[in-house]
Structure 1
Amino acid sequence: MSIGEVLAELRPDFPDTTISKLRFLEAEGLVEPRRTPSGYRKYSWEDVARLRFVLTAQRDQYLPLRVIREQLARQDAEAGPAAGRTRPALVAVGPSGEVPGRPPPVPAPAAQSRWSRTELLERSGLESSTLAEVERLGLVVADAPGWYDADAVVIASAVAGLLRHGLEVRHLRAVRAAADREVGLFAQLVAPLARQTDPAARARAAETATELVGLSQRLHAALVRSGLRPTVGR
């Protein structure tokens, strides 16, 4: 397959994937498509499977590229010569071999990236009045009048789950404030790369942002677990 055909193959499950992203992953040594005599990339089904593994590990486990590269190297060593292998069964695990525990992502048709207000309410379980309150706090923001992106669906669903446990929307002001502080901090790290005109640098900026988000979530979860341990007695 050409790089454009690979992009079309991956986009339904990974809508944020771009040709620049695929080139960046190649530059990082995570996939090695063969080249035609004229220099065009040609991907095999094994290459596509490796890309799916990398993208899934980043999206669902927030693993840094270093860890993903090590896992792929182990898979390659265990599988032996690559000849004849297609669609290998790759499973993303944590740095110590564990599958990091985290709530499953909100189910959604992967090709859809915009949601109406009605769809957002249906998928999240929020009442319209509650969503309005959530929006007033800036937890959910429409990307166009009446339309929301995939992150808004995730946020609204998480808020609905917290409310079911007895929290109130006003209690989430601190969460919004903490997130804003992290955005400001991480933006300082990513902005120098994002400002460059080189597509590879911009792709690296996106990768850095993904890794920072994942590390932040792991740190936050560990701190909350540690803080609750004396209360729950475990």
Structure 2
Amino acid sequence: MAGAAARPLSNGLLSIGQVLARLQDDFSDLSPSKLRFLEEQGLVTPERTKSGYRKFSQAHIERLRLILTLQRDHYLPLKVIAEVLDELDQGRDPIIPGAAPRSASSILAPKRVLSSDELCRSTGASVRFLGEAIAAGLLPAAEVFPHDAVAQLTALLRLAERGITPRHLRSLRVAAEREAELITHAVSTRGLKSGTPAGAEDALEFAGYLDTVRSGVLRRRVSGA
């Protein structure tokens, strides 16, 4: 669905919203602000229109996919990721630091889904803990899980070690459902006003903005600012 909605422009380039539609199924925490941050760090350099809007090519998409995978699955800092990208830009295929022998190009191989047993083995979670996460609505009730469920379940385990269990986080699901309703209404209203049908990329762009606002509020409350 996302791929169909993220139809490229006539010149083959994608907007930020379309990039989100392409990548957010695999990287749920991706937002417009994160894309801009990666650009500021010099890791990706999108093209610019005369009006200053960012436009991304397919090469940019694959570069972003590699950056985000190295962050999520290999926990590499941006400085090391920049070194890996520099190696690639020079025509080499670097081995990922700190990982079993695996080249950067192999990172971009098509993802596979995980069974519940594979997900538990990958994270060290028990089947019971996975069930608690599913019961709380924090992971889908499914026979197979997308790869980003590894990062989600790992985060839930780290929280549980600090006394915040999945049942304490049911409110996250409720809040997410309310935000989804808000986004659906906003996108629909925007589409009616503009006279153009609302696409999935519009909803994902709205979600990215909400995520940025939510994260800022949470960090300020935690830091006491």
Q: Provide TM-score, normalisation by structure 1.
A: 0.53
- Tell whether the 8 Å contact from 2:5 to 2:200 is kept in structure 1 after alignment: no
Alignment match, 2:72: 105
CA distance in 2, matches of 1:17, 1:214: 15
Mark the CA change 1:151 to 1:91 in structure 2 (over 3 Å): closer, same or farther: closer
Displacement after TM superposition at 1:224 (Å): 1.0
Distance 1:17 1:120 in 2: 25
1:129-164 C-alpha deviation (Å, 9 max, x unpaired):
111111121211234xx2123454443232123223
1:120 is displaced (CA, Å) by 1.3
Correspondent of 2:169 among 132, 147, 172: 172
Match of 2:47 in 1: 72
Cα 1:157–1:132 change in 2 (3 A) is same
Distance change >3 Å, CA 20–CA 205, structure 1 → 2: closer
Whether 2:9 is the aligned partner of 1:26: answer yes
Q: Distance in 2 between matches of 1:129 and 1:109?
A: 32
Match 1:158 to one of 131, 155, 158: 155
Which residue does the alignment assign to 1:63?
32
Q: Please show how residues 61-140 of structure 1 align to structure 2 within 5 Å.
A: 61-63=30-32, 72-73=47-48, 104-106=71-73, 111-140=110-139
Two-structure CA RMSD over aligned residues (Å):
4.6
Separation in structure 1 between the aligned mates of residue 189 and residue 150 of structure 2, nearest angstrom: 30
Aligned residues: 166
* Conservation of the 8 A alpha-carbon contact between 2:138 and 2:166: no
What is the letter of the counterpart of residue 128 of structure 1? V
- Higher RCO, 1 vs 2 (CA within 8 Å, ≥6 residues apart): 2
TM-score by length of 2: 0.54
Contact 1:115–1:147, Cα closer than 8 Å, also in 2: yes
Tell me if structure 2 keeps the 8 A contact 1:106–1:157.
Answer: no
- Name the CA shift for 1:147/1:109 in 2 (closer, same or farther; >3 Å): farther
Partner residue of 1:208 out of 202, 205, 216:
202
Distance 1:191 1:149, change over 3 A: farther
Pair 213,20 (structure 1): closer, same or farther in 2 beyond 3 Å: closer
Query: Percent identical across equivalent pairs?
Result: 21
Q: Is the 8 A contact 2:160 2:166 kept in 1?
A: yes
Using the alignment, how far apart are the partners of 2:157 and 2:166 within structure 1?
A: 9
**CA separation in 1, counterparts of 2:153 and 2:132?**
11
User: Structure 1: how far apart are the matches of 2:204 and 2:109?
Assistant: 18
Give 1:222 deviation, angstroms.
0.6
Measured in 1, the distance between the counterparts of 2:186 and 2:113 equals 29
Say if 1:116 and 1:147, in contact at 8 Å, map to a contact too: yes
Larger of the two Rg values belongs to structure: 1
